[in-house]
Amino acid sequence: MKNLLLIVLINFSVSILRAQNPIGLPQIVNYSNTTYKGGIQNWDIQQDKSGIMYFANNEGLLTFNGRYWKLYPLPNKTIIRSLKIDTGGRIYVGGQDEFGYFYPDQNGVLKYTSLKPLIPAKYRQFSDIWDIVILKDQVFFRTVEKIFQLKDKAIKVYPSNEIWDFIGKVNDQLYAQIRGKGLFWFKNGAWQIINEDSNLKYNTITAILNYDAETTLITTLKSGIFLLKDHVLTKKATNADNIFKNDRIFCAIQLNNEQFALGTTSAACIIIDKNGNVLQKFSYDEGLQKNNIRSLFIDYDQNLWLGLDDGIDFVAYNSPVKQIFPDKNKQVTGYSTRIFDKTLYLGTSNGLFYSPLSPGIKDISYSKNYFQEVKNTKGQVWSLNEINQKLLLGHEDGAFIIEKNNGIPIYSNIGTWLFEAVSSLYPSSGIISGTYNGLHSIEFSNSKFTDKGTISGLSEPLRFVHYDQSSNTVWASHPYRGVYKLELSSDRKKIIKQHLFTKKEGLPSTLNNFVFHIKNRIVIATEKGIYEYLPQKNEFIPSDFFKSVFKNNPLQYLKEDNDGNIWFVSNNEIGVVDYQNATKKTPFTIVHFPELNSKLVAGFENIYPYDEENIFVGANKGIYHINYLKYTHNVKKLNVLLTEVTLFGKKDSIIYGGHTSGNIDAIPVKIKNSLNSLRFEFSSTLFEQQNNIEFSYQLEGFDKNWSDWSAKSEKDYTNLPYGTFSFKVKSRNNLGSETSPVTYTFTILPAWYQTNIAFVIYFLLIVIFLYLLIKWQAKKHIKAQQQLKKLHQLDIKKSESEIIQLKNEKLESEVNFKNKELAITTMHLAQRGKLLLRIKEDLYALQKPEGNEKNSEKIKSLLKLLDETEKSDNDWSQFSLHFDQVHNNFLGTLKQKFPHLSQNDLKMSAYLKMNLSSKEIAQLLGITIRGVEVGRYRLRKKLNLSSEVNLFDYLLQVTNLK
C-alpha cells in the first residue's frame, strides 16, 4: 500500500511538471547500446577540446565524435564509474580496483596508463572510483573508503573510518562529504570541516554547484536542494519538491548562470531556474529512452547529454528547431497552424487543438499551457484561415467558424480544403472555398457567414485556389489534370467560362502543378520551376522573375511571409529565400533546413510564418517550430575532425586514431608499399547540426580537384602509387559556414623494386646491358662484315665458277664442235677408206681376166695411185690436230712419253681412245682386222703394258700420267 501511494504521488508530481513544460520540444536523439556497441549504463560524461564526447560506460571508455563510436576497455575489464579530462588532454578514468588515464600516442591512438603502481602498497586494494576531481595540478579520486590525491607523479591517500560520500569542486574550492560528520573542504593540504548540519551528515550529496558569487547550491540524493552561504545551510524550495520527496536526485549540473539540470532516478531530467521554478522536463514522455538518469553534461554548444541507466540521449537544448505535439499520446499528423486571439491553433489528422499563449513570450515554443481539443472538430483538419477577423476551419466534414473552443458549421457534408476572400478590403462580403466537389460560395454579412451553395460549372476537387479580384476569375489547379482558369458570373453562382491549361499550353507537365499568389503574381509551382501566365498568348511560360531563384527545380509549395521572404518545399525538403540577407552575387540568401528533411506531409505541405521567431511547419508527427531569427544568429563554431586513418587489406590497422592535441600533420608517416590502401574517416562535433553538415575532401598528389560536397564521412583509396600525399578534408553547414581544411600527410614507400638502390641496380644493369649490346652489336657487325666478305668471296667464287662454267661450257661447246668435226673427219676417212678399199677390190677383179693386158697395166697404175693416196699423211695431220685439241694433247703427250711409237702406233692409239671397233680401225688404217689385232699387240708391247692392264683404260689416263 505504501509503495502504491508512492507511485501515485510520483505520477501526480510528474503530471504537474508536464503542465509546466513548454509546448515546444527540442530535438532528442536516442543512442541505444546496440548503436554505440557498449554497456547499457553510462556513469559520467566529458568533452575534450576538439569536441569529442567521452562516456564512463559499463564496458569501458566510450567515445563519440559525431559520426563514429569507439570503446576502450580497461585492462581488468571493469566498469568505469568516473571520468575527467585535464587541460593537457589526459582522460582520467576510475573503475573498480583500478584508475589511471588515457592519452593519445604519437599516432593519435588512445593508450591507457594505470596509476595504481603509484599507490602505497597497503592501499592498493579498493572498491569503485565514484568521483574524479581535477584541482589545478592535482587529481583526486574518491572511493567510499578513501580519497587518492595525485600530485607530482605521487599519490597520497586520505583514508576514513567513515564513508566518503562525495567529492566535488566549485570555484576552485574542493569539497568532500564524510557520512555522519558533514561537509569538509580542502585547505592547506588538509580536510577541514565547514558544516555539520544534520542534513549534510546523513543525506548523501550528489552535486555542489555555483549559485552566485557567495552561495553554493547543493543537491542531495533524497532530501532535495540546499544553499550554502557563509558555511550556513538553508533548504531551497522548488516546484519539484514533491518529486524530490519521493524520488532521488542522482546527479546535477549547472546549465548557465540561471538554470540547473537535475537527473533523477525515476522522474528523468528536470530543468529549474535559480528561483526553483521548473522550466522544462525531459522524460520518456518527451522522447527519452529511460527516466533513470545516471549522468548529465552540457557541451560547448549548450546541448544537454544524458547518461541513462540504459543508453545515451542527446537533447539539442539550445536548438532553434523544436517539435510541438498537441496530443503527445497519439502524435498525430499536423496539417495547419494559426495564431488567433492570443491562442495557438493546430489542425491535425484527428481534429483541431488549441493552447492559450503564455503572456510576454516572443518564442511561442516556450509557452507552457496545455493543448485542448476544440469541440465539434473531430476528424481531418485541412486548413485554418483568418478572414474578416474570424477563424475559418477547412475540414473533411465541411466549413466551420471557430469561436473560442467550439467549432460552428457553416456548411456540412462537403470536404473543404481552403478559403479565399473575394476582396482585399476587409470585411470581404464574399468567400470562395475550394472543396472536394469544386467551388463553394459563402456570404459574409452582419458579422455572420452564410452558405450560398456550390458554384456550378465544375465538380472537380480543387485544393489549390486563388481568386483574381480584377477579373472575377478563379485560378485553380488539379494535381493530375492541369490548371483551370474559371471566369465567374457577377453573382458568383456559376462558372461562365473555363479553360484547362495542360502541357499543350506551355506547362512542363499536366501533373503536379500548384497555384500560389507570390510577390503579387499568380504563379504555378511545377516540376521544372515556376511558371507564369502570358495573357497575350493565353499560355504559361517559365517565370523570368523567379528563374534566378529556383531555376528548374521541382516545387510543391510556396508561401510568402510578412518580410517578403519566400518559404518553399522541394522534394520534401524545406527552405526559405531570405531577401533580408543579400549576398555579393544575389539579392537574397537561400537557407535550407535539413533537420526537417522527409518529415513533412508529402502532398499536404503547410508553412505558417507568423513572424521571424515563429515559423510553424506541418509534419508527419505534430508541428515543427522554427525560431528563424535564432536559427540565423545561432552561429556556432563549425569544425572538422579527421577521426581515423586505417590501412585496410588482408588485415586492417590504425595509423591515426583521431586523438591529438597537436598538429596531426607534424609527424611524418611512412607506409609500406604493400599497404597502399587507406580509409579516412572524418566528422564534425557540431552535434545538433549533424543533418546539416557536408564534407569535401581531396588527396593532394592524387586527386586533381576537391570532391563534391556530401554527407558521406569516409573515403577509401586503394592501390596508391608510391610518393607523398596530403589528405585534406573540410566541412560546411546549411548556413554557409565552411571550415579550413584539416591535413594529414603521409608517404607511401616505394616497393623494393622502386627504391633508389633498385634504380641504381637498374642503371648498372642497363649500362651492362648497353655495354653487352654494343659488344654484341660490334661482334654481330664484325660477323656480318665477315659474312659479307664471305658472301663477297662466294659471289666472286660464284662469279669465277660461273665464268669457269661458261668457259667450260664454251670449251665443251668447242670440244663438242671439235668432236663433231673429228667425228666428221673420222667418218670421212672411214668412208674414204671404205671407198678406196672397194675400188681396189673392183680393180683387182678387173685385173684377173686375161687378154686385156693394156687395161691391166692401167689398173695397176690406179692401184698404185690408191696405195699412195692411202699412205698420204695430209688427212692424218688434220685429224691429229683436231684430236689433240679435243683430248688434251693426247697424241703429243703419248709421243713425248713413248717417242719410239710409229705413226701407225699413234693412229692405233687415237682410234682405240675413240673406242672404235676393230673393223672401223681396219678400215681407217687400210688393213685387215687381223692386222688391227697384231697392231694392238705391238702397241701394248711398246707401251710396256702387262696382260692385266686394259689397253683402253690405260689410254684414257694417258694425259694424267706423269
Output the CA–CA distances (angstroms, integers) from residue 430 to 274, 340, 467, 490, 526, in the order listed. Answer: 54, 21, 11, 12, 30
Q: Please, what is the angle between helix 874-886 and helix 903-913, to 10°? A: 50
Which CB contacts under 8 angstroms, 24+ apart, belong to 349-357? 349/380, 349/381, 350/378, 350/379, 351/377, 351/378, 351/379, 351/381, 352/377, 352/381, 352/384, 352/393, 352/402, 352/407, 353/326, 353/327, 354/405, 355/23, 355/326
Nearest one of 211, 291, 207, 289 to 251, comparing CA atoms: 207
- Would the pLDDT of 258 be above 90? yes
As a whole number of angstroms, the distance between CA 685 and CA 681 comes to: 13
Question: CB 16: neighbour CB atoms within 10 A?
Answer: 15
Which pLDDT score, from 0 to 100, does residue 9 have? Answer: 43
Least confident among 37-51, 59-73, 395-409, 588-602: 588-602
Is residue 371 within 8 A of residue 346, CB to CB? The reply is: yes
DSSP string, 607-627: EEEEETTEEEEE-SSBEEEE-
pLDDT of residue 890: 78
Under the banding of pLDDT at 50, 70 and 90, the label for residue 791 is: confident
**pLDDT tens-digit series, residues 619-639:** 999 999 999 999 988 767 889
Checking if the pLDDT of 172 tops 80, the result is yes
pLDDT at 5 over 50: no
- Averaged pLDDT of the chain: 88
Residues 500-516 pLDDT 10s = 999 999 999 999 999 99
Grid cell digits, residue 709 = 560536397
Residue 348 pLDDT greater than 80, yes or no: yes
Q: Is the pLDDT of residue 871 over 70?
A: no
Indicate if the pLDDT at residue 184 is higher than 70: yes
3-state secondary structure 176-206: EEECCCEEEEEECCEEEEEECCHHHHCCCEE
Range from 8-17, 610-619, 801-810, 911-920 that averages highest in pLDDT: 610-619
C-alpha cell recorded at residue 674: 604493400
Measured distance CA(439)–CA(458) in Å, rounded: 8
Lowest mean pLDDT among 13-22, 479-488, 572-581: 13-22
Nearest to 67 by CA among 52, 56, 55, 54: 52
**pLDDT at residue number 822:** 58
Express each pLDDT in 86-106 by its tens digit: 999 999 999 999 999 999 998
Could you give the C-alpha distances from 282 to 268, 348, 418, in angstroms and in order?
6, 24, 37
Query: Which has the minimum average pLDDT: 201-210, 223-232, 267-276, 629-638?
Result: 629-638
User: Are 540 and 501 a contacting pair, CB within 8 Å?
Assistant: yes
- Report d(CA 223, CA 693) in Å as an integer: 44
Kindly tell me if the per-residue pLDDT of 14 is higher than 50: no
The dihedrals phi and psi of 67, each to the nearest 5 degrees, come to: -125, -35
pLDDT at 415 over 90: yes
Round to whole Å and give the CA distance between 432 and 443: 9
| φ, ψ for residue 588, nearest 5 deg | -155, 165
Average pLDDT, stretch 392-402?
A: 97
- Residue 3's pLDDT is what? 47
Q: Is the pLDDT of residue 10 over 60?
A: no
Say if residues 165 and 179 touch (Cβ distance below 8 Å): yes
Contact 932, 923 (CB under 8 A): no
Looking at residue 842, what is its pLDDT?
67
**Could you give phi then psi for residue 779, rounded to 5 degrees?**
-60, -40
Residue 799 DSSP SS3: helix
pLDDT for position 320 = 93
Answer yes or no: is pLDDT of 792 > 90.
no
Sequence-ordered alpha helix ranges (H) in 229-357: 241-246
Q: 52: how many CB neighbours lie within 10 A of its CB?
A: 21
Q: Determine which of 248-257, 364-373, 397-406, 868-877 has the lowest per-residue pLDDT on average.
A: 868-877
Q: Which of 398-412, 618-632, 948-962 has the lowest mean pLDDT?
A: 948-962
Name the more confident of 130 and 285: 130
How far is 817 from 824, CA to CA, in rounded Å? 10
pLDDT of residue 837 exceeding 90, the answer is no
If you search the block for the grid coordinates 548556413, which residue do you land on? 735
Average pLDDT over residues 47-52: 94
Give 472's contacts (C-beta < 8 A, 6+ positions apart).
487, 488, 490, 492
pLDDT of residue 873: 52
- Answer left, alpha or beta for residue 153, where phi above 0 means left and psi between -120 and 50 means alpha: left
CA angle 372, 373, 378 (to 5 degrees): 165
Judge if the upstream peptide bond of residue 427 is cis by omega within 30 degrees of 0: yes
Query: What does the DSSP 8-state code read for residue 333?
Result: B
Q: Taking 90 as the threshold, does the pLDDT of residue 251 lie above it?
A: yes
Mean pLDDT, to the nearest integer, of 598-602?
A: 89
> Picking from 388-392, 465-469, 759-763, which range would have the lowest pLDDT averaged per residue?
759-763
pLDDT-derived band at 896, boundaries 50, 70, 90: confident
Model confidence over 698-745: pLDDT tens digits?
999 999 999 999 999 999 999 999 999 999 999 998 877 789 999 999
Look at residue 315 in the predicted model and tell me its pLDDT.
96
User: What does the alpha-carbon distance between residue 95 and residue 76 come to, in Å, rounded to a whole number?
Assistant: 9
* pLDDT greater at residue 578 or residue 664: 578
Longest CA pairwise span in the chain (Å): 212
Mean pLDDT to the nearest integer, 548-575: 94
In the predicted model, is pLDDT for residue 4 greater than 50? no
* Residue 15: pLDDT band with limits 50, 70, 90: very low
Query: Which residues fall within 8 angstroms of residue 876, CB to CB, at 6 or more apart?
Result: 903, 907
Enclosing H/E stretch for 815: helix 756-847
Whole-angstrom Cα distance, residue 958 to residue 962? 9
In the numeric block, the cell 540568401 is attached to 589
Q: What is the pLDDT of residue 16?
A: 46
Specify the length of the chain in residues: 962
Share of the chain above pLDDT 70, in %: 89
Compute the Cα dihedral for 450, 456, 461, 466 and give only its sign: negative
Range list of β-strands (E), 160-283: 164-170, 173-178, 182-187, 190-195, 205-210, 215-220, 225-229, 232-236, 249-254, 259-264, 269-273, 278-282
Average pLDDT over residues 133-145: 96
Q: What is the mean pLDDT of residues 114-131?
A: 95
Q: How far is CA 776 from CA 755, 771, 773, 786, 822, in A?
A: 30, 8, 5, 15, 63
Rounded mean pLDDT, 144-150: 96
Q: Which of 92-106, 847-861, 876-890 has the lowest mean pLDDT?
A: 847-861
- Pair 587, 569: CB distance under 8 Å: no
In this predicted structure, what is the pLDDT of residue 23?
Answer: 92
- 305 φ, ψ (degrees, to nearest 5): -110, 135
Contact 465, 515 (CB under 8 A): yes
> Which DSSP string corresponds to 369-380?
PPPEEPBT--S-
SS3 content of the chain, % helix, strand, coil (to 5): 25, 40, 35
Where does the pLDDT of residue 649 fall: very low under 50, low under 70, confident under 90, or very high at 90 and above? confident
The DSSP result for 482-493, as a single string, is: EEEEEEEPTTSS
Q: Which residues contact 733 (CB under 8 A, 6 or more apart)?
A: 638, 686, 689, 692, 693, 694
Mean pLDDT of 288-316: 96
